[in-house]
Amino acid sequence: MRALTIGWVMSLVITASALAQFEETITVSRVLVDVRVTDDRGKPLTGLTPQDFIVTIGGAPASVESATFIDETGAWFDEALASTSDVAELAPEPRKGRLFIVFVQTDFARNASRVSGQMHFNRYAERFIEALLPDDRVAVFSFDSHLEFQLDFTSDKEIVADAVRRSLLIAEPPPPPIVHSPALASRLDREAMKRAVHSEAALLLIGNALIPIEGPKNLLLLGWGLGERKPTGIVTMRPEWTAARRALDAARVTLFAFDTSVADYHDLEHGLQTAAKQTGGFYAKTHLFPEIGLERLEQTLRARYELELRVPASLKAGTHELTIRIKRRGVTILAPTSVVVR
């Protein structure tokens, strides 16, 4: 009888072990990706379903578990409400204020084309800030010879506009006022900011500080360029960009680059274009028609799709290439080109 009992217990242990192994093999990893699908003027397209998206991660097909249309401004709800009396069916989930980070590159050498271009664009940037919704919140950083923290997240538009104006000064700003969560101050190391002598290193610090904050964020880079020009004439991204891009991916940050240099072309615009494309944003010049780029930004930020993707079982944790297409022609897809799998 005792031998039988021992055998029964061992059988249970073996069964439990096998069950645990079986459960481990069927564990499925999922990731959330923010995607914007627009027309050529930036107006978002509605009505897309998971079946409309074709996605690969690390070169392997990924299943789209869900495609949720997020109305960021309430515009689509208002339009639908005007055409129906059935309010109960239309009532959306309470919207959350959007999070913006403004990153201003201030030219330490006071190059005339860079400084004058920034001063010219600031007038239009202030109009964009004024048009933000009451519950949107903005943080402001600047970069001259190192990263400077101008303002923590706030919804006070006047304070934000003043911080953007002050970012043109070559002077160390005072510590920003303490704000309620979400906040960045406690996640930024002042000494590390002083050691960030390239914009790519500065973006790495910002990305890491944003990772613990839930939800998507929009980073507006107002400046003159990223990358470095090699002796051969080729412009490449600095080594710090690889880590910065991973941090921005992990924090769900989309970078929109506004080139404020007064020039039809310059070498470092390639870096701005690369950073915007890789994070799911876009690049725009501002020295001729700045209102066009800002109008496209306002339209683009009205809505997004939140895709829940099932990661192919063959992929290990890490950063993998991401491609997203849809089964429609004549549309623009803004999506990151890599994703972090945990």
| Pair (214, 291) in one structural domain | yes
* Residue 151 is assigned to a structural domain of this protein: yes
pLDDT string in tens for the chain (342-residue length): 444 444 444 444 444 444 444 334 445 689 999 999 998 777 899 999 999 999 999 999 999 999 999 999 987 655 554 554 544 444 455 567 999 999 999 875 566 667 777 788 888 899 999 999 999 999 999 999 999 999 999 999 999 999 999 988 877 888 899 999 999 999 999 999 999 999 999 999 999 999 999 999 999 999 999 999 888 888 899 999 999 999 999 999 999 999 998 888 888 999 999 999 999 999 999 988 889 999 999 999 999 999 999 999 999 999 999 999 998 888 999 999 999 998
| Pair (79, 107) in one structural domain | no
* Residue 15 is assigned to a structural domain of this protein: no
**CATH code of the domain in which 44 resides:** 2.60.40
| Pair (36, 123) in one structural domain | no
| Pair (74, 172) in one structural domain | no
* Residue 38 is assigned to a structural domain of this protein: yes
Q: Within 10 A of 255 (CB to CB), how many other CB atoms are there?
A: 28
Per the structure, the complete domain to which residue 315 belongs is given by 27-83+303-341
* Residue 92 is assigned to a structural domain of this protein: no
| Pair (222, 127) in one structural domain | yes
| Pair (163, 235) in one structural domain | yes
Residue type, 302: R
Rounded CA gap, 181 and 153, in Å? 8
Rg (CA), the chain: 23
* Residue 7 is assigned to a structural domain of this protein: no
* Residue 162 is assigned to a structural domain of this protein: yes
pLDDT of residue 168: 82
| Pair (159, 308) in one structural domain | no
pLDDT, one tens digit per residue, over 120-143 is 888 889 999 999 999 999 999 999
| Pair (133, 273) in one structural domain | yes
Number of domains making up the chain: 2
pLDDT of residue 108: 59
Instruction: Tell me the three state secondary structure of residue 107.
Output: coil
| Pair (251, 336) in one structural domain | no
pLDDT, one tens digit per residue, over 156-213 is 999 999 999 998 887 788 889 999 999 999 999 999 999 999 999 999 999 999 999 9
**CATH code of the domain in which 268 resides:** 3.40.50.410
CA dihedral 114, 119, 124, 126 (to 10 degrees): 120
Residue type, 232: T
What backbone torsions phi and psi does residue 224 show, to the nearest 5 degrees? -115, -5
* Residue 319 is assigned to a structural domain of this protein: yes
The tokens describing 99, both together, are: 């999070």
Side-chain-facing half-sphere of 217: CA atoms under 13 Å? 29
DSSP state of 187: G
| Pair (107, 223) in one structural domain | yes
* Residue 236 is assigned to a structural domain of this protein: yes
Contact predicate 81/338, CB 8 Å: no
| Pair (191, 107) in one structural domain | yes
